[in-house]
Structure 1
Amino acid sequence: MPLPTPLIEALRATFGADLSLAEAERVAYSYDNSRLHALPDAVVFPTTHAQVEALVRQCREHRVPVIARGRGTNTTGATVPVDGGVVVSFERMNRIIRLDPDNRLAIVEPGVLNGDLQQALKPLGFFWPPDPTSSPWCSIGGNLACNSAGPRTVKYGSPRENTLGLRAVAGTGEGFRAGTYTSKGSTGYDLTRLLIGSEGTLALITEATLKLTPKPTGLRTLRATYRDVSAAAHAVARIMAQPVTPCALEFIDDVALRLAHEHGGDSVPMAGAMLMIEVDGEPETLPSAVEAVSRAARGEGLESLDIAQTAEETQALWSARKALSPAQRTISPNKINEDVVVPVSRLPELVDGVKQLAARHNVLIVSFGHAGNGNLHVNLLPRDDAERERAHACLADLFDLVIRLDGTLSGEHGIGLAKRPFMPLALQASTLDLMRAVKSAFDPDGILNPGKLLP
């Protein structure tokens, strides 16, 4: 049903021309990268914290849903307005408020693009470690909402480990601050880490104080190919068991390599599996670090190990990984992309299990991902209705396998709509009850992103 007239008048008074009721604009904000969609009743574009407070108070008074949105790169439907309401696009709150290398922090608004922040930090010799694949066009607010990470997480951690504090607005319309401007703090509950990964169900983030890391001056890229996926998975476990932590450790299975080879040509090697490994640090320490990682990479099933010496060689080694996404799109526009995680020592069991599931359900599955964290992107590629039906049955078996291996449903994509039905598989009832109680404390009327995350 349409928004109440008093609410529309209140929103116009708060936002003026930054409120849209036009159908074309509402359609543009009705979906994300999950391909799920639902039409909101309105879209607003705040530019200040005070506007967000006013918006939430106004919507709470009329029990109208409020859905925070970054740039819509999420793949789980986390920003789809399933109950209508008002979508809050933070794209115009995009100021880098302060860069403070002396204290190793940056203060930004949620609409700042990850890639723009990295460019601003580069001349200062720092970076913010989270680097999802979509970093050139995804927002910091979206990264925080889903705890989106990327390859560098293996060494530098996720947004939870790289955020000092937040300013936000709860479902009551009340603004608050959480966290500190310091790298140490032990003052009450850690609401900052609680809000990160909560997918806009607890509060709307309006400002973030991010922890910066000095950028290493040296980098080496290695590419190792293996006889089969099991040999590569065991190599991952060996690499992560020795003292030198790579800054990226990516796994690509045989099916993915074949697709990438067909799309990218001879620059992509044909093998049973492949690891892309990066080691960073200061130039004088790199040779010994590369040798330690190379030693761990060698073992049963290794076919080749190449170390890039120049930027051009590095780019050539990464060609297979870069060819993956376009190659998958040519096969299945209905790709189901999951980002399950298991303990690194159990990655061989997960990789073998995925192979068995693909055979049992007769579904094409491409696996690759951030192996150093045990985070595997399992991509089911159904090509018709029959395969889609089998893929959804396979998905349930995949999640069951992951839980049996002491893993979890998501490493960085979040839960949203897509994985919400499986939450009781991952968490016991008493844990979910505590989460519901937390949700009620922040959002007593349930207006913030309803229908997401909690079953």
Structure 2
Amino acid sequence: MNTSPPVPDPPDLSRGFLSRLAQLVGPENLRTDPADCWAYGYDNSRLHALPQAVVFATDADQIAGLVRLCAEAGVALVARGRGTGTTGATVPDRGGIVLSFERMQRIIRIAPEDRLAVVEPGVINEQLQDAIGALGFFWPPDPTSAASCTIGGNLAYNSAGPRAVKYGTPRENTLGLVAVDGRGERLRTGVLTTKGVVGYDLTRLIIGSEGTLALITEATLKLTPRPETKQTLRAAYADIHAAAAAVSAIMAQPIVPCALELMDAAAIDMVQRYAGLDLPHGVGALLMIEVDGPLACIDQASRAVSAAARNNGLLELRRAESREEVAALWKTRKALSPALRHIAPKKINEDVVVPVSQMGALIEGLEQLSRERGVRIVNFGHAGNGNIHVNLLTDPDDAEAFAQATACLDAVFQLVLELGGTLSGEHGVGIAKRDFVARELDAATLTLMADLKRQFDPKGILNPGKGFPQNSLP
């Protein structure tokens, strides 16, 4: 939660600035009426700030000119996809201009022979998957919001989803970028090949930087051939420690699952209340496992993962034999989000990560915090990466309950760092986590990052105040 002092009101945009802005981008790509701008001041974090103007990006030349104009006038410029982020990274809390990329949605080129696709940042993840799926490929990042989130947003946050356990995040699946830095200069980073070591790796630096270093105008993505088949398993355990031990064993053997999802006892209890589920008595943790690969090898791979999943705490291990059974096994996981929305629609949702070996200790520590602080905590997530979504069920409209939850969240972050973890796996930092970043990064590292920010964005106009403590970056 954001505990920084309030940001002062931004200066009004001058009539001369607005006139030059309209001339640069065209009236059809500019909104200045507060009623039109209102919807572009939020994301999925519940945070909101009204932008002073909204510009719809159309091409790199327009964006470069816009950046130069904003740098000259000292006006903040905040990039936005479809607003599915959860940390306030696209919320213009310092006023200025929101630059929406929703109109830059061309798939420029698909090259199956080189296993790559070139896209604009406004392309929806699911639309890309459909287009390349018809050619036998997929792009591994698959966030839950794939039907509505953009490729540019995926890159800005390094958002991955369940398949990251086997196939990696956007950083591992992007070959290069075209971007505009804070001086209005166009940059081309990366290569068209899977090998290349000329120069610094600016591609990976820009990915995950939440629009604070440069604005991505084009991305060259690395495609992966679709596997011939997959098998789905569900493993039920007596407690979280048995499930965590199984995750460690699965990740220590040669066959890497393409999905390895965890639900703790609180999550299972919540789902059981709202959906009739076929689960064994006394289940305290659940793993959803998918294995993919060649048809000739899938049974052997599934057996290897099943063997690793077996331990003394295993209550049941089921394998789906049909599409209907796959749907039945996933029913538990898919019922969780509606149940959470029903009970606590304004919950705090964090995505911390710990080493896989520390996952049991994390869940146990979270259960203890829940008891001590009187805050209900529900945990699920991408177990193969140690990436756990920690949900604090609270109501921000109840001041006392929200204060308890905020104090509990502080303790959650402290626990994660003590276990050798990190404060965010794929949701980013934005506003919501920026005041905690100095606990994870030391002063020397923060200073170097501030220097990098100044090199990319000398006037500090690109998404100012996001991602880092307020006094550490311009």
Specify the TM-score bucket, using the shorter chain as the normaliser.
over 0.9
Distance 2:205 2:126 in 1: 25
**Could you tell me which amino acid in structure 2 is paired with residue 13 of structure 1?**
Q
SS in 1 for 2:316: strand
Q: Which moved more, 1:422-431 or 1:323-332?
A: 323-332
Aligned to 1:402: 416
SS at 1:124 equivalent = coil
TM-score by length of 1: 0.98
- The answer for the alignment partner of 1:345 in structure 2 is 357
SS in 2 for 1:176: strand
User: Could you tell me which of 25, 45, 59 is aligned with 1:34?
Assistant: 45
**Structure 2 portions without partners, runs of 5+:** 1-10, 470-474
C-alpha distance in 2 between matches for 1:348 and 1:428: 27
Map Cα deviations across residues 121-165 of structure 1 (whole Å, 9 max, x no partner): 111110000000001110000000000000000000000000000
Is 1:109 equivalent to 2:120 in the alignment? yes
Q: Tell me what 1:6 maps to.
A: 16
Q: Deviations over 1:59-110 (max 9, x none)?
A: 1110000000011000000000000000000000000000001000000000
Mapping for residues 201-220 of structure 1, pairs under 5 Å: 201-220=212-231
Find the counterpart in structure 1 of residue 387 from structure 2. 375
Question: Partners of 2:405 and 2:382 in 1: how far apart?
Answer: 23
SS in 2 for 1:197: coil
Q: Deviations over 1:16-39 (max 9, x none)?
A: 211001212211001000010001
Distance 2:288 2:195 in 1: 34
Q: Paired residue for 1:451? A: 465
Q: What letter corresponds to residue 433 of structure 1 in structure 2? A: T
| Residue 393 (structure 1) aligned with residue 404 (structure 2) | no
What does residue 261 of structure 1 align with?
Answer: 272
Aligned residue runs from structure 1 range 23-422, under 5 A: 23-267=34-278, 271-383=283-395, 384-422=398-436
* One-letter amino acid of the counterpart of residue 373, structure 2: H
Alpha-carbon shift at residue 324 of structure 1 (Å): 1.1
* Matched-pair contact (CA < 8 Å) for 1:268–1:319: no
Shift of 1:267: 4.8
Deviation at 1:268, TM superposition (A): 6.2
Distance 1:72 1:430 in 2: 33
The count of corresponding residues between Structure 1 and Structure 2 is: 455
- Aligned-pair RMSD on alpha carbons? 1.0
In structure 1, how many angstroms separate the alpha carbons of the residues matched to 2:187 and 2:279? 50
> Residue 436 of structure 1 contacts residue 454 of structure 1 at CA under 8 Å; is this kept in 2?
no
Contact residue 87 and residue 429 of structure 2 kept, 8 A: yes
Shift of 1:193: 0.1
C-alpha separation in 2, matches of 1:299 and 1:267: 21
Give the TM-score of the pair, scaled to structure 2: 0.95
8 A Cα contact 2:280 2:316, kept in partner: no
In structure 2, the partner of 1:431 is 445
Query: Alignment partner of 2:91: what SS?
Result: coil
SS of the equivalent of 2:275 reads helix
Q: In structure 1, which of residues 15, 20, 27 is the aligned counterpart of residue 25 of structure 2? A: 15
| CA deviation after TM superposition for structure 1 residue 454, in Å | 1.6
Report the Cα offset of residue 269 of structure 1.
Answer: 6.3
Q: CA deviation at 1:351?
A: 1.3
